[in-house]
Amino acid sequence: MKINCHCHIFSLDCVPLEFRQRFFLDVKNPGHRLIHRLLRRILPDDSRLEDWLDFIDMPISAIAQKLVDEMDEAGIDICTPLMMDMAYCKKFGGGTKSFEDQMTQTLAAVEAINEKYNRIRMLPFIAADPNREGIVTIVKDALRKGMFRGVKIYPVMGFTPHDRRLYPIYEYCVPNNIPITAHCYNGGIPGLKEDYHLADPKHWGTVLEDFPSLTLNLAHNDRTGSAWQARIARLIKTHPKVYTDVSFDTEMWFMPRKYFKNIKRILSTPKIQDRLLYGTDWFMGRCFWTEKSYLKWFQEYSRKIFWCRVEFTEKEIKKLTEDNPKRFLGL
């Protein structure tokens, strides 16, 4: 049972309007729609960029189905769609779908998928931004009712993980074994470099002093241009339920041998080898990879491509894609 621990099904109207306008993603703008039509005419039929353009108009329900279709091609059984709350981005704030509508549509999409396949395919995580009024009540109610399996924290929206307004959520998650996935990458939407430092794993060190048994995924396992991966490793060695995932690191594409050798090393390192999770960050890089091609990099391409030549054993792949994710999710 392979599990993708990091993916997204939010629609583009969940993204601030100004951000969409900057990148020609405003479907209500005639000029943007003209650009999209022109791109479709000049792109080859099998272009992944053209596939990505399809997401611009898709509702959450259609995006969810597209993800599951790709999961089936890749042999992935379960995923954890992570909600995003971008309403309070200080530079691009405003013009987003209401959080309530995003919750409702996400849950409807997940329920439809799970009912269609008569088994669990999606375990959604609810976003928690301390700037949203009443977020503690919203999150706790959603978790208590079993609507969401976990919590997503995205600090680069303009807050730190040790913001005291988040503490009641952590207090609820620990005894109820609710996992948290946190953006822990020196980058990300909306591209505000001055806020990247807010995702630094050192901030989670403060949280874990108060909640040492918190189940936490410090996503992306980032070491590109930073010492963050070493800090993540120290937290994993110190705390029994801290994990990290392999979703979207630019080093994977530009320096694959270096990247995969590092993953191979981690899968041979005591403690850390049991806390590394598989994730793809779909659909964020959909113009570069599909669910199938991303997994193929670990199963096949990493050893076949002559400038990489890193081979993972079946046991290592199973640990990465099955054993560790099941433990993180409490399955």
Domain span at residue 203 reads 3-329
Q: Which residues contact 197 (CB under 8 A, 6 or more apart)?
A: none
Token digits of residue 304:
């076949």
Instruction: Summarize the confidence of residues 201-217 as an average pLDDT.
Output: 97
Element (H, E) at 181: strand 180-183
Dihedral angle sign, alpha carbons of residues 52, 57, 62, 64: positive
| pLDDT of 36 strictly over 60 | no
Q: What percent of the chain has pLDDT over 90?
A: 71
User: Do residues 243 and 274 touch, judged by C-beta distance below 8 A?
Assistant: no
Token digits of residue 84:
């995003």
Range in 135-139, 162-166, 245-249, 327-331 with the lowest mean pLDDT? 245-249
Q: Dihedral, CA atoms, 94, 100, 106, 111, nearest 10 degrees? A: -170
| pLDDT of 23 strictly over 60 | no
Q: Which residue has the tokens 């999209």?
A: 36
Give the pLDDT score at 235. Answer: 97
- The Cα 37–Cα 162 span in angstroms is 45
Q: What is the pTM of this model?
A: 0.92
Give the pLDDT score at 100. Answer: 96
CATH no. for residue 270? 3.20.20.140
Q: Band of the pLDDT at 240, cuts 50, 70, 90?
A: very high
| pLDDT of 103 strictly over 60 | yes
What is the chain's length? 331
Q: What percent of the chain has pLDDT over 70?
A: 87
Q: Band of the pLDDT at 122, cuts 50, 70, 90?
A: very high
Please provide the average confidence, as pLDDT, over all residues in the chain: 90
**Which residue blocks in the chain are alpha helix, DSSP H?**
17-22, 30-42, 48-54, 60-74, 99-117, 135-144, 167-173, 202-210, 228-238, 251-254, 256-266, 291-296, 302-304, 314-318, 324-329
Please give the tally of structural domains in the chain: 1
| Cα angle for residues 134, 136, 140 (degrees, 5° grid) | 125
- Tell me the Ramachandran region of residue 152: left when phi exceeds 0, alpha when psi lies from -120 to 50, beta otherwise: beta
Q: Band of the pLDDT at 77, cuts 50, 70, 90?
A: very high
